Structure formats: C-alpha cells, structure tokens
Amino acid sequence: MTPPLVELSHATKRFLKADGGTHTAVSDISMTVGEGEFVAVVGPTGCGKSTTLSLVSGLEPPSEGTVDVAGSPVRGIPDGVGYMFQADAMLPWRNVIANVAAGPIWRGVSKSEAHDRAQDWITRVGLGGFEKSYMHQLSGGMRKRVALAQTLVNEPRILLMDEPFSALDVQTRALMQNELLDLWSGTGTAVIFVTHDLEEAIALADRVVVMTASPARIKDDFRINLPRPRNVEELRLTPEFIETYSKVWQSLSSEVETARKQGAARVA
C-alpha cells in the first residue's frame, strides 16, 4: 500500500509567548490526505488552522509528533508543495508576469520557458491583459488570481490554501470557487483548503475536517458525497447540500461558541 500523500500524526505545535510562557496552537492532530483529495478545514478563528498548514508546508517544524509528505518526514520545504497564504505575498516591485514566472525561474527553468508557462497560467486564471500591471494596480480579486497562478504554475502535488477567497465579495467568490474546481479537477492534486465559510467548505471539498476551539484538535471528519462536477451556486440550493450543512454546522457551532467565550474571557 502506498502511504498517503500527507500524514500528520499526533502533531502538536507550541509557540513562545511574549511573556515567556508557551501557547499551544495545535494539539495532537492526526489526519491524512490522499492523492487528488480535496479536504476543507474549518474551525473558529485563531484556533490553529494556519498553523496546521505551516506544519505541512515545512515552514514550521512540529513541537511533537510527526508530519510526513509523500511517505517521508518533512524537513524543510517538501517537494511539490504549493501554498497560497492568507495574506497577499506577491512581490509588489514585480509586475504580474514576473511574479508568476518567479517560481519556475527559482527552480531553474529558463527565463523564456518560465514566461511562457506564466503567460499560460495568467490566461487560465482570467488575467490576460494585466501581465504588466503592478500589485497596487489590481483589485483584491485580481490579486488572489495572481496568487493562484503563481502557486499553480509550479504544478504542485499538494496545494495548501489558507482562506484564499475570504476577502472577496460573494459573486467573485462563487466565480473563483468554480474556477478553482475547474482548474483542480483531473489534476490529481491534493488540496487542503482552510476556510471560515462552511458553505464554501462543503461546496468544494470531498471531506470537511472540523477543528475545535484553541488549541486546535480534530473534532470531526465528514465525508461529502455530493456529485462532481459541481457548480457551487446551484449546489447550495439542493436538499442534499442543506442536509450536509446542518449536520456539519452542529459540530462546528459549539466550537465557535467556545471560541467566542475564550475571546470574551481574554478581553475581560
């Protein structure tokens, strides 16, 4: 049996706090993601979702437990990982095409080849005509497209996405969700998609993992048996979707409530 593409086992991550104590961001997390699987991770704000992604990406080592990618433990950044950050991370002094071509060039592809690939992806994410624009000249949605193209041009086997669409308006978000599904389908890429938005999670994913309030543990792991190909706007209105939604929401809502109380306690 081949090992799963991503496997976290009993992974814990602690951070040093400013007052010298430690803060446990994620605690004893075990989960696997298989090839071509689309896993959405939901949980209350500040619980440790981004931290989980940084463990998989190799940017942060786990304090305890292990993280394996493609069967070998993560040391440094594993091959084939793409990561779309929660915040914008494109280079503001480079235009769109130079930003998208950066990855292949850093990986040793020739400049003209990298530009060809970048051009192809810019067109595929619908940004044709904006190759020479700088980041500050683009709208929020366009910047997310640049980030998407920048990540996908490396053809990752594992795609980590941290609330990629949360800053977008409802229409643009639905558009981007459909486009993401189009781009992803048939590629065999494993996706770990962090979001606050349960509708988004269910509409996109094969599995929805619910995390507890801080420190994050895995509370539930729901399989979403909705047929593909999906159109997120139409899917939302189907009875199956609504049924799944209420089932997952029951699990999530109590965590959101706990997180709210934690927040209130911290402020008090």
Partner 1 sequence: MSHSTLNAPGTEEAAAADGRMATPLAKKDPRAQLRKHKTLVYTLRIALLVAVLAFWEISVNLWFDPFFYSKPSLIWDKLVTWFTDGTAQGSIWEQIAVTLQEAVYGFVIGSVAGVVLGILLGRARLLSEVLAPFIQAANAVPRIVLSAIFIIWFGLGMESKIATATVLVFFPVFFNAFQGAREVDRNLVNNARILGASRFQVLRSIVVPSATSWILASLHTAFGFALIGAIVGEFAGSTKGVGLLISTGLAAFDSAAIYAGMVISTVLALIAELVLGYVERRLLKWRPPSQSETVAV
Nearest to 125 by CA among 86, 183, 54: 183
Residues 42 and 208 sit within 8 Å (Cβ to Cβ): yes
Choice between 48 and 82, CB closer to ligand ATP: 48
> Could you tell me if 8 and 67 are in contact, meaning their C-beta atoms sit under 8 angstroms apart?
yes
Pick 95 or 177: Cβ nearer partner 1: 95
Closest approach, Cβ 162 to ligand ATP, in A, equals: 7
Q: Which residues within the stretch 81-140 sit at the binding site for ligand ATP (CB under 6 A)?
A: 86
Q: Could you tell me which residues are beta bridge partners of residue 41?
A: 194, 209
Q: Which residues 6+ apart lie within 8 Å of 39 measured at CB?
A: 31, 33, 190, 191, 192, 193, 205, 206, 207, 208, 209
51 touches which of ligand ATP, partner 1, Mg ion, none (CB within 5 to 8 A by kind)?
A: ligand ATP
**Minimum distance from residue 18 beta carbon to ligand ATP (Å):** 8
**What SS3 state is found at 137?**
helix
- Total binding residues toward ligand ATP, as defined by CB under 6 A: 13
Residue written as token pair 């594992």: 158
Binding residues for ligand ATP restricted to 7-36, rule: CB under 6 A: 15, 23, 25
Q: How far apart are CA 135 and CA 33, in angstroms?
A: 33
**Least Cβ distance, residue 41 to Mg ion (angstroms):** 10
Interface with partner 1 in residues 110-139 (CB under 8 A): 134, 136
The interface partner of residue 243, options being Mg ion, ligand ATP, partner 1, none and the CB cut-off 5 to 8 Å by kind, is: none
Q: Does 50 bind Mg ion (CB under 5 A)?
A: yes
Q: Does 150 bind partner 1 (CB under 8 A)?
A: yes
Which C-beta is closer to ligand ATP: that of 55 or that of 96?
55
Indicate which of partner 1, ligand ATP, Mg ion, none lies near residue 47 (CB less than 5 to 8 Å, by partner kind). Answer: ligand ATP
54 token code pair: 């940084």
